[in-house]
């Protein structure tokens, strides 16, 4: 891909009420989703005391999950199909990427100011398609068992970045006020920034950057397998993008091997149905 990437244009119709609801979820709805998934998982613990049914145990076929990474978070749709001692897995994950060192501040010297992140110059959405296999290390032969699996997957990551707009204060007498501008730390005085502008502003000016990666993880599975199955995953992955992501505008901000390589650590929770 060229240095400019692939431009995606948003239609104004989309960024109506539906778009506003979507952007609110991207910023604030994750906590509710995580709480919901955890409650669903804990609700199956009472099934451990029941007798095992006279049917073979099979892994879940469809499920939803949440991954919390040190570079952001994902929600996903998961499909699993058993094959002897291995399980074929496919999943699609959608979420956000952000630098874990981001620090939000409030410029209290300016009237009506709100919080903004000093080091954030772009918003970043991520999409990952993942395909892999899980090796059964310990099968679930009874209702109270916890199964262990080792998963190895290839993934195709895509990152979409667009400029972060901030409210820049103009101190001119009589005409003072705020103007929304694309944040550039090289030219904008932090002391004149009064907050972050609308999340979706400048979305059509973004660029799509593809990549290639892989994931290795340990998985623990439990639950009332006649109805539901829960999986806790702990692992790490490596993504190599076609070029450096614009979220790192200074070389010293990148703590990975190369500017276009991401090494991530994640913990995830999956909830799904069994047959």
**Is 93 part of any domain?**
yes
Question: By the 8 A CB rule, do 239 and 212 touch?
Answer: yes
**Is 10 part of any domain?**
no
**Is 198 part of any domain?**
yes
Q: Residue 59: is it exposed, middle or buried by C-beta count within 10 angstroms (0-12/13-18/19+)?
A: buried
pLDDT in tens, 208-267: 999 999 999 998 888 765 556 788 899 989 999 998 888 866 666 666 666 678 888 888
Distance of alpha carbon 12 from alpha carbon 26, whole angstroms? 18
- Identify the residue with better confidence: 215 or 171: 215
Distance of alpha carbon 100 from alpha carbon 96, whole angstroms? 12
For residue 123, what are the domain limits?
17-273
Domain count for the chain: 1
**Is 1 part of any domain?**
no
**Is 6 part of any domain?**
no
Residues 6+ apart with CB under 8 A from 264: 69, 70, 71, 236, 237, 238, 239
- Residue 1 banded pLDDT, cuts 50, 70, 90: very low
**Is 7 part of any domain?**
no
**Is 239 part of any domain?**
yes
What confidence score (pLDDT) does residue 57 get? 47
What confidence score (pLDDT) does residue 50 get? 38
Q: Residues 10, 13, 18, 20: is their CA dihedral positive or negative?
A: positive
Query: How many of the other CB atoms lie within 10 Å of CB of 240?
Result: 14
For the domain that residue 34 is a member of, what is the CATH number?
2.40.160.20
Q: How far is CA 117 from the centre of its chain?
A: 18
């Amino acid at each position: 891909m060229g240095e400019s990437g692939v431009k995606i244009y948003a239609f104004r119709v989309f960024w109506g009420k539906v778009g506003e609801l979507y952007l609110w979820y991207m910023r604030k709805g994750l906590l509710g989703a995580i709480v919901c998934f955890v409650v669903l998982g804990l609700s199956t613990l009472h099934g451990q005391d029941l007798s095992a049914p006279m049917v073979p145990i099979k892994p879940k076929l469809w499920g939803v999950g949440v991954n919390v990474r040190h570079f952001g978070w994902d929600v996903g749709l998961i499909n699993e199909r058993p094959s002897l001692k291995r399980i074929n897995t496919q999943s699609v994950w959608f979420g956000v990427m952000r630098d874990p060192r981001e620090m939000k501040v409030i410029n209290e010297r300016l009237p009506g100011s709100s919080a903004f992140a000093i080091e954030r110059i772009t918003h970043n959405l991520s999409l990952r398609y993942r395909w892999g296999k899980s090796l059964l290390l310990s099968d679930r032969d009874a209702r109270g068992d916890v199964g262990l699996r080792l998963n190895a997957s290839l993934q195709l990551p895509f990152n979409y970045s667009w400029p972060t707009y901030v409210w820049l204060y103009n101190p001119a007498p009589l005409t003072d006020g705020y103007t929304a501008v694309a944040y550039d730390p090289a030219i904008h005085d932090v002391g004149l920034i009064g907050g972050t502008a609308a999340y979706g502003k400048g979305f059509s000016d973004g660029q799509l950057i593809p990549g290639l990666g892989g994931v290795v993880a340990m998985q623990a599975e439990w639950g009332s397998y006649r109805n539901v199955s829960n999986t806790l995953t702990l692992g790490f992955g490596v993504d190599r993008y076609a070029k450096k992501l614009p979220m790192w505008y200074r070389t010293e901000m990148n703590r990975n091997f190369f500017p276009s390589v991401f090494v991530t650590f994640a913990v995830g929770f999956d909830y799904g149905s069994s047959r």
